[in-house]
Amino acid sequence: MSHGAGRSWTSHEGLPYPLGVSRCGEEGTYNFALYSKHATSVRLLLFAAGDLATPYRDLALDPLINKSGRVWHCRVPEAEVNACAYYGYLVDGPDPSEPFEVHAFHRDKLLLDPYARRVHFPPAFSRAAAIGDGSNLGRAAVGHIVVDDRGKGGTRPPHHERDALIYELHVRGFTQHPSADVSDASRGTFAGVVEKIPYLRELGVTIVELMPVFQCDPQGADRWGYMPMSFFAPQASYAPAGQAPSVAFRAMVEALHAADIEVVIDAVYNHTAEGGAGGPVYSFKGLDNSTYYMTRGASYADFSGCGNSLNASNRYVRKMILDSMRHWLRDMRVDGFRFDLASIFARGPDGQLDVDEPAIFGDITSDPAFDRIRMIAEPWDAAGAYELGRAFPGISWLQWNSRFRDDVRRFVRGDAGLTGALMQRVYGSDDLFPDDVIDAYHAYQSVNYITCHDGFTLYDLVSYEHKHNLANGHDNTDGPADSFSANNGWEGDADVSPQVVVARQRQAKNLIALLLLSNGTPMLRAGDEMLHTQGGNDNPYNQDNETTWIDWSRRARFPGFWRFVQQMIALRKQSGAIGRSRFWRSDVRWYGPRGAVDLASPTVAWHLEDPTPGGRALYVIVNAGPAPVPYVVQAAGQRWHLAVDTSLPAPDDIELARTRILPRPSYVVAERSVVVLVEAR
């Protein structure tokens, strides 16, 4: 590139920061900056809107002028950029056989800028064209030249504490079904979520956790969003027609905030859509394979189960992740992140775990931008690392508690010897989040859940003992489920008897009740409140159809169950006894039917005082056994009214306004049921 006398260095060389595209307003230019440690040549291609096969400008970057350290950069006059809409890079480098490095440079592949704020897929876009040799011009994803399409910045600290209820939803699946009762233009989009805000408020949701919203591969098998192509661009298909994805996303966040609902996004920073050695070359592979990915010899280390693992040990990769987080916080205004497969970030370049000093968590901890946001970890990976509790990944992070999920499921199913485990989980899992003088962790750090996007829905959990994936076109085989499920006497829905339907709903109510009566932060999978079913499919990641779309007609089909969930959420919020920052300690006492708890028995009760002014104590009795159990309410001097009995039909199963006092300090708890008594005043 040429330069003239009298111009500043940066005006003709460009700057290595910020990465991506930025507009230099006073100068009348645009700055382009791209990281690649091993590249030997970089060409910036600009495209007019109507032609993505022929570059409008092809700019070869001179490393003696347009490179600083490992960053290639240049300045382009505004007039030239304004004539274009899209951009990409052609990058070349050392031969793949160079010793000590594993390169994947393809000089003919047009590459997406990792910092692109918006991704465009031409009509001829082809995943196949990104695999193997040969040019993919006109068939490659490109970045929009968008630099002013950003929010005004600013984050707000999470403020839901005792009333926190996380609701995990998939943007498209939430409103794509014809029964969703949203406008046609909004179905399956960010705008569809906005139209459902009155429903979220009616249910009692205070935190929405969005399954991945990063731009993913539209021709990949994954439909959940767990195969990202970009860590900065929102998924274009989630925007209503004619609206920029970032604008639509921010409008959704602002509407949720106006309704006092926090927004957490499921952030997939551990792998990309490029897969393993046979996968496409969209961006990172062709830019600098050995920088962005963990490798083992000539192959990719795969701790994600998706073909590759991002190399967070590299400082530039960590910078990209933190820059992405700042973008979603400041520009897109989210309230926090749920880190998918977070244990991968504790792996060094050799794949070994180092849970004491994971570099990226240290970077996050030391950056004040992340001090007061909601951080949630999925504390395992697909290669066997399991770091639940154990001070991972930081003192204020929340973690998905799979031990809560498994122990509560097994207890409710009727497995023997689980009473002690249930007590530990209900109490807040202090074995995983110890609050001794050295550790001082909090009960709320346990994200308690019964179901999530992985595995059976709540309805399927009580309706199937085998997974039924082949019937839905899934590529997994059918077979026994590994989810501690029980079909309650009949597999699936075909010809099911009314008695089995009643038994299933009772068990589903028991699971919901225990979730919302436990210390910790509860999480509900979207659709479980109306008994959404996937027909026994426990892993429909590749299904974009009625298998995964929430069927809103089930609310009318199961109105009593929906009401039960809503009222249990209300009970939790009304009570100062249940959800706390700290463990219950002296406020809780545990009982059996007539005295001390028998850990070999499938029944247990607890008396929980409410320390808040004017608060009312709770007396909870759980019977997972096959026969009724008479219980003596062992709380001298207190009177009680019945609030919950999952064995009763709706609406008698839960009534928070009920004032009738129990005539005697005893109650017969039906088989497989949960009873909640509230102190009468």
Query: Looking at the annotation, which residues are catalytic?
Result: 340, 378
- Chain centroid, CA 615 distance in Å: 34
**Intra-chain end-to-end CA distance of the chain, in Å:** 82
- Label residue 560 exposed, middle or buried (CB < 10 Å: 0-12, 13-18, 19+): middle
- Output the 3-class SS for 521-573: EEEEECCHHHCCCCCCCCCCCCCCCCCCCCCCHHHHHCHHHHHHHHHHHHHHH
Residue showing tokens 């939790």: 572
- Chain centroid, CA 460 distance in Å: 21
How far, CA to CA in Å, does 139 sit from each of 53, 81, 553? 8, 21, 41
- Closest CA relative to residue 261, chosen from 180, 374, 150: 374
Number of Cβ within 10 Å of residue 368's Cβ equals 6
- Chain centroid, CA 415 distance in Å: 30
Distance CA 444, CA 428 (A): 8
The residue ranges of DSSP E strands in 398-553, in sequence order, are: 398-400, 446-449, 466-467, 479-480, 521-525
Structure tokens at 288: 């600098």
Element (H, E) at 315: helix 315-326
How far, CA to CA in Å, does 469 sit from each of 32, 472, 550? 47, 5, 18
- Whether the link from the prior residue into 630 is cis, omega within 30° of 0, is no
Distance CA 15, CA 30 (A): 10
Contact 143, 116 (CB under 8 A): yes
Starting at the earlier edge strand, list the strands of the sheet with 67-68: 20-24, 29-35, 71-77, 67-68
